[in-house]
Amino acid sequence: MQSIFDTIKHCALEIDRAIKSEDLGYCDSANASGDDQLKLDIKSDAIIEKAFSGHPLVKSLVSEEKEGELVMNETGKYTICYDPLDGSSLVDVNLSVGSIFGIYDGELKGENLVASAYVVYGPRIELVTVVKGEAPKHYRAQNDTFLTVYETLQLNKKGKLNAPGGTQQHWYDYHKSFIDKLFAEGYRLRYSGGMVPDLHQILLKGGGIFSYPGTSDKPEGKLRQLFEVLPFALVYEAAGGEAVDHKGHRLLELAPLHVHDTTPCFFGSRYEIAKLKEAYGV
Ligand code: P6P
């Protein structure tokens, strides 16, 4: 898996250079989920596709920016599902964004996710990698070299941060009550609109909860299973936290019918996830 993580490090440095130098404008196209595409989305996607083409272990790629699966090497073992530049619309207001990678062995479903990684493009480039069954590892780039920050990352049983996603006017009453109760307990609001820095912050600051629920206008939520939700679920569970859907099921038990399927998702410390299950009656 290290050669795949090393390729991700190469992509991260190239994408960071693109963020800092390329045109921030929109293309006249939309991705498979109907999101407007920035030139940076297309550029980041091309960087990753080029970097993995010819990699002996990689059979195919699935990108948030493209409809289907790109098969590159029939003898390869893994399929990499990725969001090349998540939250890219935040670049033009100078907020942190990220890339997310899920490495699957076989059918594209949670139980076949064997590793994941994400990159945060902020004041510094940071990388977190995890192999199934191992603790997540945290790196920070200095002069194009990724140095280990923490050998392992661990969430406290209870945290202090609350990152409530989704359009509040479309929240279900029981979800609003759950969020309000956390704030009444003194949780601090930490939500930027970028899932990568928002989840990274909770992981590094000891815990709390990130939620992107189903809503009356989007009952299946917004975040995509294969290349946004499941990779973070592997990281959070490996860090001693939990990652569940609105039924209280582990996100890593999901098996999407389509590569762009979404799901309501909740990532956090054990205390907050227990409170969520209570609020949802699951
Ligand atoms: P909202 C960014 O577009 C994204 O996919 C995630 O990074 C983020 O958590 C979410 O959407 C934000 O969505 O509805 O709160 O703007």
Q: How far is the CA of 264 from the centre of ligand 1 (A)?
A: 12
101-107: long-range contacts, CB 8 A cutoff, minimum separation 24: 101/8, 101/227, 101/231, 102/226, 102/227, 102/230, 102/231, 102/234, 103/1, 103/4, 103/78, 103/79, 104/78, 104/79, 104/80, 104/226, 105/77, 105/78, 107/255
Last residue of a domain, one of 150, 178, 206: 150
Across 59-68, 163-172, 263-272, least confident range:
59-68
DSSP 70: E
Q: What are phi and psi of 8, to 5 degrees?
A: -65, -40
Query: Residues 221, 5, 202, CA angle at the centre, nearest 5°?
Result: 45
**CB of 195 closer than 6 A to ligand 1?**
yes
In a domain, 42, yes or no: yes
**CB of 100 closer than 6 A to ligand 1?**
no
The token pair that represents 57 in the structure block: 């272990």
CA 17 to chain centre: 21
Place of tokens 């991700």: 8
Residues 203 and 116 in one domain: no
Q: Residue 270 pLDDT > 70, yes or no?
A: yes
Radius of gyration of the chain (CA): 18
Give the CATH number of the domain where residue 242 resides: 3.40.190.80
For residue 259, the cross-strand partners are: none
**Cα–Cα dist 41/64, whole Å:** 9
Residues 13 and 146 in one domain: yes
Residues 7 and 146 in one domain: yes
223-267, pLDDT tens digit by residue? 999 999 999 999 999 999 999 999 999 999 999 999 999 999 999
Give the CATH number of the domain where residue 142 resides: 3.30.540.10
Whether this prediction's pTM lies above 0.75 is answered by yes
Residues 197 and 255 in one domain: yes
In a domain, 155, yes or no: no
Residues 174 and 228 in one domain: yes
User: pLDDT class for 36, splitting at 50, 70, 90?
Assistant: confident
Last residue of a domain, one of 103, 122, 150: 150
Q: What are phi and psi of 48, to 5 degrees?
A: -70, -45
Q: Which domain holds residue 56?
A: 2-150
Q: What per-residue confidence (pLDDT) applies to 33?
A: 73
Residues 31 and 144 in one domain: yes
Atom of ligand 1 nearest to the CA of 212: 9
Tally the domains of the chain.
2
Residues 131 and 233 in one domain: no
**Cα–Cα dist 17/14, whole Å:** 5
**CB of 194 closer than 6 A to ligand 1?**
yes
Residues 111 and 207 in one domain: no
Residues 35 and 68 in one domain: yes
Residues 134 and 165 in one domain: no
115-145, pLDDT tens digit by residue? 999 999 999 999 999 999 999 999 999 999 9
**Cα–Cα dist 276/237, whole Å:** 16
Q: Residue 151 pLDDT > 70, yes or no?
A: no
The predicted model gives 194-220 an average pLDDT of 97
Last residue of a domain, one of 150, 173, 197: 150
Atom of ligand 1 nearest to the CA of 83: 5
Q: What per-residue confidence (pLDDT) applies to 178?
A: 98
Q: What are phi and psi of 133, to 5 degrees?
A: 90, -5
For residue 113, the cross-strand partners are: 104
Residues 177 and 76 in one domain: no
Residues 259 and 190 in one domain: yes
